[in-house]
Structures are given as C-alpha cells and as structure tokens.
Amino acid sequence: MTSASPPVAKPRYPSTYNPAPGHRFNVGDRIAIRRTFPPGHRRTPFYIRGKQGVIERICGAFANPEELAYGFDGEPKKVLYRVRFLQKHVWPDYNGPQHDTIDMEIFEHWLEPLPDTRN
C-alpha cells in the first residue's frame, strides 16, 4: 500500500444514494484531485487539489453546484463521490498518527484516475 492509499471498507451495502448512471469510478479506486484553479464557485477545497485518495463511496448524481451558483439549473447532473485521504499525505507536517484520515465529497470532473497498486 502506498502512503497515499488509506484503507476503505468493502461496501457492505448499496453505496449510492441517488442513481449514478455511467459513473466512471468505483469504491476502492485510487484517484488524484485535479490541481487546477479556475475562477468561480467550486466546492473542491483548495487544500485538497492535487492530492491522492481512494473512493470511499458513490453518493449519486447531483446538480452541478458550479452552475447552480450562477442561476443555471445545474444540468447535466454530475456524479458525486466521497474520497478518503491520509492526513499525512494531505498535510506533510501533520502532527498525528499515520492512519488518521480526512474524507470529503468530490465531483467526478475533479477526479483523475491513478494506476491501481492494490494487490
């Protein structure tokens, strides 16, 4: 396991809350958050851009907040995931044990696939 791959539980139950037709990623997939800084309303915190994590669950497709913020209808909807990150990877100076994590919601268009290093 690489330092950027925190463990995620095998889904014990359906992991979608809304339907997520055509979702690109699955639970356990390693991904990177795009490191890009476009202007506008974005719900991807700056501190997580460029970091690597693992898909923890698929929340389903939701109206795109980057469009909703400007009075549009948020269509087409975007698939929302929960991604788990190791704190030591997110904050190199993190003053806590290796296994502490941070989880957050990231829309699919912010995710980039990483090679699967699991056995």
Interface positions with other proteins (CB under 8 A): 13-14, 17-18, 43-45, 47, 59, 62, 65, 80, 82, 87, 90-91, 94-97, 99-107
* Strand locations in the chain (E): 30-33, 52-62, 78-86, 101-107, 111-113
Minimum CB distance to other proteins, residue 87 (Å): 7
Name residue 39's amino acid.
P
Minimum CB distance to other proteins, residue 95 (Å): 6
3-state secondary structure of 90: helix
Which residue, 2 or 98, is less far from other proteins as judged by CB?
A: 98
Which residue, 28 or 74, is less far from other proteins as judged by CB?
A: 74
